Chains A and B, each alone.
Chain A
């Protein structure tokens, strides 16, 4: 069985500061890993994904994540937060990419 743990249900950063959202996963097979963003009253939008190959993955809106097998982690980062980044972020794991198991989500607040 696969599972995802997102540390911190709420994260608050100042505009221009580093964004770090934590995700740890459990999987019995090599995982596919995803980050999705959800704005209020909208569906989930894919930010980035890791399947195989390079462990540092770049996504949209300046976000990136690094797959660390030894730590079973896939943390999401962005060097400089923007007000428009305020949203809820979900980490997800899959065995082959077509059945996602999501974490509980992290709400990112960006202070001006």
Chain B
């Protein structure tokens, strides 16, 4: 089966610019996650979707971050405007019910 696909793999932007990341989960996986991984740290959950509903967005900085999962499949994570501290790897993962998470290769964001 195809894995979780993320794009782009790398993104370099200047601070105050907007940026968007895209994720295509494994077919049939109803749960989708966005994690942020800062350098030297483990991933931290930003938002979790059950189908098209965001069921846990408590860690999402809502002043500048937004996410959507239209039709309960693909998802987009947006940052506007980006800050220097947003430099990190953004990981998307998906799962079916309570099965283990499958991760994509991530998008490495550098904000200059």
A: residues with CB less than 8 A from B are 4, 9, 34, 36, 41-46, 49, 90, 92, 96-105
User: In the complex, are the beta carbons of A98 and B42 less than 8 A apart?
Assistant: no
Q: How far is the CA of A31 from the CA of B68 in the complex (A)?
A: 30
What is the number of contacts between chain A and chain B, taking CB atoms within 8 Å?
55
User: By DSSP majority rule, is chain B's interface helix, strand, loop, or mixed?
Assistant: loop
User: In the complex, are the beta carbons of B56 and A96 less than 8 A apart?
Assistant: no
User: In the complex, are the beta carbons of B105 and A42 less than 8 A apart?
Assistant: yes
Q: How far is the CA of A40 from the CA of B104 in the complex (A)?
A: 13
> In the complex, what's the smallest C-beta–C-beta distance from B42 to chain A, in angstroms?
3
B: residues with CB less than 8 A from A are 4, 31, 40-45, 48, 56, 91, 93, 95, 97-106, 108
Chain A residue contacts of B91, Cβ below 8 A: 43-44
User: In the complex, are the beta carbons of A96 and B98 less than 8 A apart?
Assistant: yes
Q: A44-B43, A104-B40, A104-B41 are in contact. Are A99 and B105 (CB under 8 A)?
A: no
